[in-house]
Amino acid sequence: MRTQDRVPAYGGGWLDRAAARRTDADWLAERLTDPASVVLPLWRDRCLADGDGPVRLTGERASAVRAAAGETVFLGLDGDAAVFAADLSALGERAAVEAAAATRAVDLRALAGRLDPAGAAVQAYARGLLSWHRQQRYCGACGAAAVAGGGGHVRTCAGAGCGRLLFPRIEPAVIVLVEAPGPPGRCLLARHAGAAEGAYSTLAGFVEVGESLEDAVHRELAEEAGVTVTDVTYQGSQAWPFPAGLMVAFRAVATSEHVRVDGVELLEARWFTRAELRERIASGRSLGRVDSIDHLLLGDWLSGDAPARPSAVW
């Protein structure tokens, strides 16, 4: 049973994405002029917000923003209302803020924990999709311009004889909570290159071409920490469109307590008991970013809960 309090930030399927409508040009054109339709303005990966959070525009203000926007994409339906995102990145910051009747441009992650889950998820979706449009203006095969279509969910190369379809890219990464092979119960946390002294988190890495998710788990742990694991179990996933990530979370059990960090991506890795983690929390250290699936992985383990969504074992 899927419960919203178990859904990591930026997910949840709050909007009906209404994918079948994306190719209905007449319907989209009508929605764009419908005064009930909602437009979310963004500026260079930032929300445009006022004192209440990211602004949602309707009516004449929405029309004015669309006219000034470089790209407007259809996100889906919120009840009967169509929801669009409009990219004001071509404007200067002040002009974008004024056009949106906002008071500031702010990074979505800076608002973590202060937005309602649905609002945060839709903003993340908008940010990721608009970011992709700005990065995919040209065809990578022939270099011709690529034109947005399908409500903003595809770009088509306009080059003669090419016509390649370009879809938003998603970059999957695995994130793993590794448990010790025997008692007492411990988990492996590491200090990553660039992290502050004493800042530990679970191990993670990008999936490479030609790898399954579980292949990536085994390779990353071996490469970065010299750890081999068994009992790899899926825990959940998190959209992380900053700009294009998808975090796929696992638990695994080490076959040995021996750890050997690579000294490049990981500076240090060590085993923590639940008591040690509780002491760290009591001393004011958080368990990862509050909006990250890392936080949920550690929270579940700390509470001794069974995995939230146990599934196949590899």
State the Cα–Cα distance between residues 229 and 222, nearest whole angstrom.
9
Instruction: State in angstroms the smallest separation of the CB of 168 from Zn ion.
Output: 17
- Residue closer to Zn ion by CB (options 159, 226) is 159
- Residue closer to Zn ion by CB (options 132, 240) is 132
State the Cα–Cα distance between residues 55 and 41, nearest whole angstrom.
7
- Residue closer to Zn ion by CB (options 144, 281) is 144
154-157 and 72-78 strand pairing: unpaired
CA distances for 102 relative to 40, 106, 139, angstroms: 11, 11, 34
Instruction: State in angstroms the smallest separation of the CB of 294 from Zn ion.
Output: 39
- Residue closer to Zn ion by CB (options 139, 254) is 139
- Binders of Zn ion among 123-182, rule CB under 5 A? 139, 141-142, 144, 157, 159, 162, 164
Nearest to 297 by CA among 253, 226, 248, 225: 248
| DSSP secondary structure, 177-216, as one string | EEEPSSSSPEEEEEEETTPPTT--B-EEEEPPTT--HHHH
- Residue closer to Zn ion by CB (options 142, 253) is 142
Q: Which long-range contacts (CB under 8 A, 24 or more apart) does 49-55 make?
A: 49/102, 49/103, 49/104, 49/105, 49/106, 49/111, 50/101, 50/102, 50/103, 50/104, 51/103, 53/111, 53/114, 53/115, 53/119, 54/108, 54/111, 54/115, 54/119, 54/123, 55/100, 55/101, 55/102
Q: How far apart are the first and last CA of the chain?
A: 23
Number of residues in contact with Zn ion under rule CB under 5 A: 8
Q: For residue 181, give both structure tokens.
A: 């092979």
Instruction: State in angstroms the smallest separation of the CB of 146 from Zn ion.
Output: 7
Instruction: State in angstroms the smallest separation of the CB of 159 from Zn ion.
Output: 4
Instruction: State in angstroms the smallest separation of the CB of 69 from Zn ion.
Output: 25
Contact, 163 vs 157, CB < 8 A?
A: yes
- Residue closer to Zn ion by CB (options 157, 188) is 157
DSSP state of 162: T
State the Cα–Cα distance between residues 190 and 205, nearest whole angstrom.
13
- Residue closer to Zn ion by CB (options 141, 313) is 141
- Residue closer to Zn ion by CB (options 61, 164) is 164
Instruction: State in angstroms the smallest separation of the CB of 129 from Zn ion.
Output: 21
Instruction: State in angstroms the smallest separation of the CB of 139 from Zn ion.
Output: 3
Instruction: State in angstroms the smallest separation of the CB of 157 from Zn ion.
Output: 3
Nearest to 314 by CA among 228, 227, 245: 228
- Binders of Zn ion among 21-50, rule CB under 5 A? none
Instruction: State in angstroms the smallest separation of the CB of 201 from Zn ion.
Output: 41
- Residue closer to Zn ion by CB (options 90, 144) is 144
Which residues contact Zn ion by CB under 5 A? Answer: 139, 141-142, 144, 157, 159, 162, 164
